[in-house]
Amino acid sequence: MEGGAGRGLECQKIMDGKVNENGNVLDKTIIPSCCLKSRASDTELDAKCHATVVSGWFSEPGSRSGEAHSLEVKNILYKEKSEYQEILVFECSTYGKVLVLDGIVQLTEKDECAYQEMITHLPLCGGDGGVLREISRHSSVELIDICEIDKMVIDVSNKFFPELSIGFEDPRVQLHIGDAVEFLRHAPEGKYDAIIVDSSDPVGPAQELVERSFFEMIARALRPGGVLCNMAESMWLHTHLIHDMISICRETFKGSVHYAWTSVPTYPSGVIGFLICSTEGPPVDFIHPINPIENIEGALKHQRELRFYSSEMHAAAFALPSFLKREVPLLRDSPTPAK
């Protein structure tokens, strides 16, 4: 399941005193600028979130974070306001076609592989590997529910990113246009083996996707030992937010809670993290793929060949820099890959 439409989670919702009930007291005096600035009013944020193409260059709004990434625009292919957001598609020389929602780069043709492959295969190949094994044997898979609030995003994907939207053609896919929170609220308890949340900036429709109640709904919708993979921002820019999310998830998911990251050049600071959790049940070893994708017949070349993910990339994604473990003490006792 994919959550809202955007990316670029901010801290405000999570930071408003909802965490740390497990005894991990936040030092309120050390709030990084990324978080402080996200407390600006919604109106202010909205104004800054609009895509800017000036003199042939697109720039992400950097005023909130003190940095900006810019891409040279060869050609604007699409620019339209949907019910929920401003959608922009342009072509740039370095990364090919780029999809931008409300001024934030969502994906580019060149580096989408890193994000899409990692957020999917980290939960599906980790653990007991049963989920992916089941998916690869087509007859045994019952359903893939996808929830997306903004139909225009899917239409744009179909038109400009056919290599991506090919996923919708899978006969197991059930597409739900609507609010992910509402969708999950009505999902039967224990229905899913895995839930993937490609969540958004909590300003606007995706606001609820970073709240404790949302994680509780996810845990409820998962079977015992089921897994969640949730987009979890940049270790360079948002350690405070990562700490808070892990704190919530440690309380909500009674199985394992891990953090992994990967390189995505067109996201802020060039990395994106993933929070990978499992509900109560048999312990899940996320780090070492028990059912390596390389051993699954046809998996590497299904639809388009894998460009980024492999079992070695899987294990390596869980290696965390020293500073992250220091700034997010809850990660200190994480098991390490390799050895």
Kindly list the residues in this chain that would bind a copy of itself in the complex (CB under 8 A). 33, 57, 59, 62-63, 65-72, 92-95, 110-111, 113-114, 234, 236-237, 261, 263-265, 269-271, 288, 305-313, 315-323, 326, 336-339
- Considering the complex, what minimum distance in angstroms separates the CB of residue 139 from a copy of itself? 28
- Considering the complex, what minimum distance in angstroms separates the CB of residue 223 from a copy of itself? 28
Whose Cβ is closer to a copy of itself: residue 65's or residue 85's?
Answer: 65
Whose Cβ is closer to a copy of itself: residue 82's or residue 263's?
Answer: 263
Cβ neighbours for 338, distance < 8 A, ≥ 6 positions apart: 315, 316, 319
- Considering the complex, what minimum distance in angstroms separates the CB of residue 339 from a copy of itself? 8
- Considering the complex, what minimum distance in angstroms separates the CB of residue 92 from a copy of itself? 6
Give all strands of the β-sheet with 96-101 in edge-to-edge order.
86-92, 96-101, 104-108
Whose Cβ is closer to a copy of itself: residue 281's or residue 337's?
Answer: 337
Q: Is 261 left (phi over 0), alpha (psi -120 to 50) or beta?
A: beta
Q: How far apart are CA 105 and CA 39, in angstroms?
A: 21
Q: How far is CA 23 from CA 1, 94, 328, in A?
A: 32, 46, 14
- Considering the complex, what minimum distance in angstroms separates the CB of residue 148 from a copy of itself? 27
Whose Cβ is closer to a copy of itself: residue 114's or residue 132's?
Answer: 114
**8 A C-beta contact, residue 320 and residue 271:** no
Q: How far apart are CA 100 and CA 60, in angstroms?
A: 9
- Considering the complex, what minimum distance in angstroms separates the CB of residue 150 from a copy of itself? 27
- Considering the complex, what minimum distance in angstroms separates the CB of residue 84 from a copy of itself? 28
Cβ neighbours for 36, distance < 8 A, ≥ 6 positions apart: none
Q: What is the CA radius of gyration of the chain?
A: 19
Whose Cβ is closer to a copy of itself: residue 78's or residue 308's?
Answer: 308
Residue 243 buriedness (CB in 10 A; 0-12 / 13-18 / 19+)? buried
Whose Cβ is closer to a copy of itself: residue 55's or residue 140's?
Answer: 55
Q: Which residues are catalytic?
A: 198
**8 A C-beta contact, residue 298 and residue 132:** no
Q: How far apart are CA 275 and CA 332, in angstroms?
A: 15
Whose Cβ is closer to a copy of itself: residue 33's or residue 174's?
Answer: 33
**8 A C-beta contact, residue 66 and residue 33:** yes
Cβ neighbours for 243, distance < 8 A, ≥ 6 positions apart: 24, 26, 327, 328, 329, 330
Q: How far is CA 313 from CA 14, 183, 277, 310, in A?
A: 30, 32, 19, 5
